[in-house]
Amino acid sequence: MDQKVDTRSRILNIAEAAVLEKGFEATSIEEIVAGAEISRGGFFYHFKDKNALARAMLERYIDAENALYDDLFARARELNDDPLHCMLIGLKLLAEMLEEMPTGHPGCVIASTAYQDRLFDEGVRDLNRQAILGWRKRFRGMFEEITQVYEPREAVNMDALGDMVSGVVEGGLVLQRALREHNNASEQIMLFRTYLKLLFADKQ
């Protein structure tokens, strides 16, 4: 129970790698079971269909992403107590993290899921939606803290600004994937960081 990873997790690991590399539809159950060294029957024992697999993968991915953000901004907070600088440091850390991934970031499952959503059931779609709404709330909260200290130079909708973090990451990953370049996402985050510096230049 400690030495060998349990089968379900092994399936998820193999599937995640394959799906991030080539997409959900292009990944066959055949190759997943081959990679995990189980039988087709074994796969369907754990997941009633591909939809259930997608759902489990998405849940795991979202949890990991949230844990990453928690960690990143906690570290940033340790370095600087000012909410703006905390945000700026967190974004820098995020950008660095994306750059350090040798093959480039695996690519956000959110976008991939969004564009193939007819393949999935309502549960999967809703999971996706809730994840983005969660990030909106997280970042809007951080931006509201900033506005208590800094006067924004231009009026902006805080929900939209919160969404922009996710949007810039997603958009950057799309570019990176399509262009086959390696640091578009981190560059885009750094540009967004500059935006925040310009927006919150003056203390209240």
The distance of closest approach from Cβ of residue 204 to its own copies in the complex, given in angstroms and rounded to an integer, is 17
Residues 20-39, one symbol each (x = binds DNA by CB under 7 A, - = not), give: -------xxxx------xxx
The distance of closest approach from Cβ of residue 6 to DNA in the complex, given in angstroms and rounded to an integer, is 6
Residues 45-84, one symbol each (x = binds DNA by CB under 7 A, - = not), give: xx-xxxx---------------------------------
- 3-class SS string, the chain: CCCCCCHHHHHHHHHHHHHHHHCCCCCCHHHHHHHHCCCHHHHHHHCCCHHHHHHHHHHHHHHHHHHHHHHHHHHHHHHCCCHHHHHHHHHHHHHHHHHHCCCCCCCCHHHHHHCCHHHCCHHHHHHHHHHHHHHHHHHHHHHHHHHCCEECCCCCCHHHHHHHHHHHHHHHHHHHHHHCCCCHHHHHHHHHHHHHHHHCCEEC
140 contact choice in its own copies, DNA, none (CB below 5 to 8 Å, kind-dependent): none
The closest alpha carbon to 134, from 151, 110, 153, belongs to: 110
**Beta carbon nearer to DNA, 39 or 157:** 39
Residue 62 as a binder of its own copies (CB under 8 A): the answer is: no
Query: What gap in Å lies between CA 191 and CA 171, rounded to an integer?
Result: 13
117 contact choice in DNA, its own copies, none (CB below 5 to 8 Å, kind-dependent): its own copies
Residues 14-53, one symbol each (x = binds its own copies by CB under 8 A, - = not), give: -------xxx-xx---------------------------
Residue 180 as a binder of its own copies (CB under 8 A): the answer is: yes
**Beta carbon nearer to DNA, 50 or 140:** 50
The distance of closest approach from Cβ of residue 119 to DNA in the complex, given in angstroms and rounded to an integer, is 9
List interacting residues with its own copies (CB under 8 A). 21-23, 25-26, 107, 110-119, 125, 128-129, 132-133, 153-154, 156-157, 160-161, 163-164, 166-172, 174-175, 177-180, 184, 187-188, 190-191, 194-195, 197-199
